[in-house]
Amino acid sequence: MNLSSFLCSSALLAVAGLQVNAQKPPKGFEKIDQEIVISTMEAQMKYDVRSFSVKPNANVKLVFKNPDALPHNLIICTPGKKKGGDRGREVVDAVLKLGDKGVEQNWEPKGHPRILVSSGMVQPKKEVILYFKAPKKEGDYPYICTFPGHFQLMNGVMGVSRLANPITNLTYKFFHGGWDKMPDFSKMEPKKTGVLASGLFDISPRDKGDDFGFVFTGEIECPKDGKYTFVTSSDDGSQLLIDGKLVVDNDGVHGVQSRSGSVTLKKGKRSIEVRFFEKSGGEELSVGWSGPGIKNQALSKSSPGGGGEEAIGLLVEPPEGEASVYRNFINGAGPRAIGVGYHEGVNLAFDANNLRLAMIWQGDFIDGARHWKGRGAGYQPPAGEAVIKFPEGVAFATLESSDTAWPKAEYRTKDFRFRGYVLDKSQRPTFKYERGGVAIEDTPLPVSGAEGEFGQIKRVIKLKAKDAPANLYFRIAQGGFEKKGDTFQSSELSVTVKGANPSVQAGDLRVPISFKGGTAEFEVTYAWAN
């Protein structure tokens, strides 16, 4: 099923004006992963929640209350070209273009590609419940009221992040200045302010490496009455306050150092503030908490006190318009793995021991922390989601017949020789390897997905041989594939091949290679199944 149509239909589940308790969750939402309550603020033209975060694919229940005297709606938009940076303006502009039709359509540009979820117009003193599945793709999803004139003030951001947490309304103020102790930021003019929709304390919005400070404020939802412990790990100083009271004092100029503090809190939302400053050298801020039912949950991209086992915090992010290469021990691709992250949001790992595509995945590329902190022990898995693994062992083999069992997987094959790769202008590799007298050029390329959709990977494989071998086969994947039109579908993967005739043989999706004049070429497109 197409993602956007699914989300549109789920938006229809919202029924305006009904009592909350009377509304039963639709099928598939028996179990709710996250519940959010957003209310309009009377006579202020604002939502009370300006940011919240949810995990990818989470079942979300969103209660939208409108105690105000005016009608309002809440439309969650996809990130768009500016990755959420336009706060959904594109959708508001579409409302203006509706002109006279605007009133009839309740000020909603129905069918706009950036609309993810809509509450419909909610009349004064009414409320609606929305059930929806959070998008697969991490990012900032703005939400807005599209009633004319409201947008400027009535907007917020839903962060979709695997590290989603119970912090809402997280904002930052960024300061310049050199200090040896935590200064009184309240008397200073910030250089910059912003929203952190992911709910994660994050010092990356800085514009310099030394002599700066941050004040973060937000609200944290305590699930139960009880004792809560907060920890900060920072270089240099940090402090954490709950309801305005200092709980963690990690002040002063120092290397990465962890301090914690405990406080007894009632169930419900508490204000949380973190102050941080950096003098010179390295800089780091991690925040976490523990409490009833919560064990060492990170409230920042890196988790504090992880010690040597910590394997997140150094995400490798492909630069704009480029691919990044990461050669190391990658879980699922072996010790001689070559990870490639494409800026388009798709990733792969190539196994240079067996000259095969080992894995593809979506979202974040890979975190370098395991290999770049401490001695670098162990295999690092992909950082992103929707990981698809391909069979171990070689991907090319000569077979007696098309349904002969595929040769057993070896740790490292001796049949092949890895020759390296060339990078194009966008740093995207074409892998080169040899099998006997056959030279193979293997070019994976990213294909961007539509808004809210996964991208794909297209792979062009060219072979050259003086004496073309007979009965050479290429194994694309393993598992239950069914042919539907031109594509072969399994539960996770949808494969199309151009320039060759794949078939399902002995549990594999295989391609016979037929050489013409000593060369062969075909193209495989890997798409994630819905």
**Site residues (CB under 8 A) for another protein?**
209, 235-236, 253-256, 279-282, 316, 324-329, 334-336, 339, 352, 368, 371-379, 411-412, 418-425, 427, 429
**Nearest to another protein of 43, 422 (CB atom):** 422
**Nearest to another protein of 180, 225 (CB atom):** 180
CA dihedral of residues 271, 74, 202, 258 (deg, nearest 10): 40
CB of 282 to another protein, least distance (A): 5
CB of 434 to another protein, least distance (A): 11
**Residues 123, 125, 128, CA angle at the centre, nearest 5°?**
65
Residue 364 and residue 413 in contact, taking contact as beta carbons nearer than 8 Å? no
DSSP string, 247-281: EEEE-SS-SSEEEEEEEEE-SEEEEEEEEEEE-SS
CA 440, chain centre distance (Å): 33
CA 223, chain centre distance (Å): 25
Question: Residue 256, exposed/middle/buried by CB under 10 A (0-12, 13-18, 19+)?
Answer: middle
**Nearest to another protein of 17, 209 (CB atom):** 209
User: Distances in Å between the alpha carbon of 327 and those of 390, 440, 443?
Assistant: 19, 20, 17
CB of 474 to another protein, least distance (A): 21
CB of 252 to another protein, least distance (A): 11
**Three-state SS letters, 93-123:** HHHHHHCCHHHHCCCCCCCCCCEEEECCCEC
CB of 324 to another protein, least distance (A): 6
Measured distance CA(447)–CA(340) in Å, rounded: 14
CB of 513 to another protein, least distance (A): 23
Residue 357 and residue 350 in contact, taking contact as beta carbons nearer than 8 Å? yes
| Tokens of residue 395, six digits | 């991907």
**Nearest to another protein of 427, 478 (CB atom):** 427
**Nearest to another protein of 6, 418 (CB atom):** 418
CB of 20 to another protein, least distance (A): 49
**Nearest to another protein of 403, 424 (CB atom):** 424
The answer for residues whose C-beta is within 8 angstroms of residue 361's C-beta and 6 or more apart is 346, 347, 348, 382, 384, 385, 386, 387, 388
**Nearest to another protein of 211, 521 (CB atom):** 211
Question: Residue 78, exposed/middle/buried by CB under 10 A (0-12, 13-18, 19+)?
Answer: buried
CB of 370 to another protein, least distance (A): 10
CB of 109 to another protein, least distance (A): 42
Measured distance CA(417)–CA(468) in Å, rounded: 17
**Nearest to another protein of 53, 443 (CB atom):** 443
Measured distance CA(195)–CA(65) in Å, rounded: 22
CB of 390 to another protein, least distance (A): 19
**Residues 4, 115, 22, CA angle at the centre, nearest 5°?**
85
**Nearest to another protein of 70, 256 (CB atom):** 256
Place of tokens 């922390």: 369
CB of 376 to another protein, least distance (A): 5
**Nearest to another protein of 136, 371 (CB atom):** 371
**Nearest to another protein of 81, 375 (CB atom):** 375
Measured distance CA(217)–CA(195) in Å, rounded: 10
| Tokens of residue 305, six digits | 């006190």
